[in-house]
Amino acid sequence: MLEGKTVIVTGASRGIGRASAVALHREGAHVVLHYGNDKDSAQATAARLGTRTALVQGDLRKPEERQRVWSEATAWRGGIDVLVNNAGAWLPSELNDDFGWLQGWEANYELNLLAPADLCRQAILGFRKRGGGVIVNVTSRSAHRGDDAEHLAYGAAKGGLLALTKGIARGYGRENILAYAVAPGWVATDLAGELDPSVLAGLPLGEVTPPEDVAEVIAFLASGRSRHSTGATIDITGADYVR
């Protein structure tokens, strides 16, 4: 279902983004791998995949960079069929530090909410000319339950991204524009870092979710094989958080 389709995956140099790029490419897609700073890793992934790949670098915290990333990605093959908003970071917002609090909220807003929102907007405008398209936004279990006291802004931003996804699905479904969210829990990525043994022991499966598990869901949703799931959120937490 993805043969001939062009997909952009943000934050594709590692973790969920890299695994998603691999899975989407396996399904026949032409994949634009976006990266921020880790050029070597992004290039290694592109080299591993071989043909049907392109690299785009950009700091998504900056509005002008977001526009450039999208422009370069669409120029590769004349448009984008699937947007996977994966790039993000677990940024603190320290309550007891005035500067840290403001900086944390601003940083989370720019990277974890406004950047994917801007890319969603560009995708919708482009999809209208192509007869439709798919958006998959990577949120977090924090979007449902909130995050810890040091990461209030992160949870709020991910909650906003979840609401945005639902709004897009409801508002643009008649134009064949589909939008889904995936909400992982602890995933074996750099963002999660080394988990405390007590946390690991409390996970129902006794292990952290591999990024490939998240990637398989993203690839399925991107394929459009379940159109009427648009607006849905798929939790991928190994039953650590169950709604």
**DSSP states of 66-89:** HHHHHHHHHHHHT--SEEEE----
* pLDDT surpasses 60 at 192: no
The whole domain housing 181 covers 6-236
Return contacts of 31-34, CB within 8 angstroms, 24+ apart.
31/6, 31/7, 32/6, 32/7, 32/8, 32/56, 32/73, 32/76, 32/80, 33/9, 34/8, 34/9, 34/10, 34/58, 34/60, 34/69, 34/73, 34/87
Report percent pLDDT > 90 for the chain: 93
- Confidence band of 37 (pLDDT split at 50, 70, 90): very high
Whether residue 241 lies inside any domain: the answer is no
pLDDT, one tens digit per residue, over 210-227 is 999 999 999 999 999 999
Whether residue 1 lies inside any domain: the answer is no
Whether residue 159 lies inside any domain: the answer is yes
Contact yes or no for 109/132 (Cβ under 8 A): no
The model carries a pTM of 0.95
Residue in this structure with the two tokens 């963002």, named with its chain if needed: 191
Q: What is the pLDDT of residue 191?
A: 55
Can 154 be counted among the known catalytic residues?
Answer: yes
- Confidence band of 194 (pLDDT split at 50, 70, 90): low
pLDDT, one tens digit per residue, over 39-78 is 999 999 999 999 999 999 999 999 999 999 999 999 999 9
Q: How many domains does the chain have?
A: 1
Whether residue 193 lies inside any domain: the answer is yes
Name the H helices within the chain.
Answer: 15-26, 39-49, 63-77, 98-108, 115-130, 142-145, 152-172, 197-201, 211-223
242: amino acid identity, one letter: V
Q: What is the pLDDT of residue 117?
A: 98
* DSSP at 240: S
> What is the chain's mean pLDDT, rounded?
96
Q: Which of 35, 109, 154, 180 is catalytic?
A: 154
* pLDDT surpasses 90 at 163: yes
> What CATH code is carried by the domain that includes residue 223?
3.40.50.720
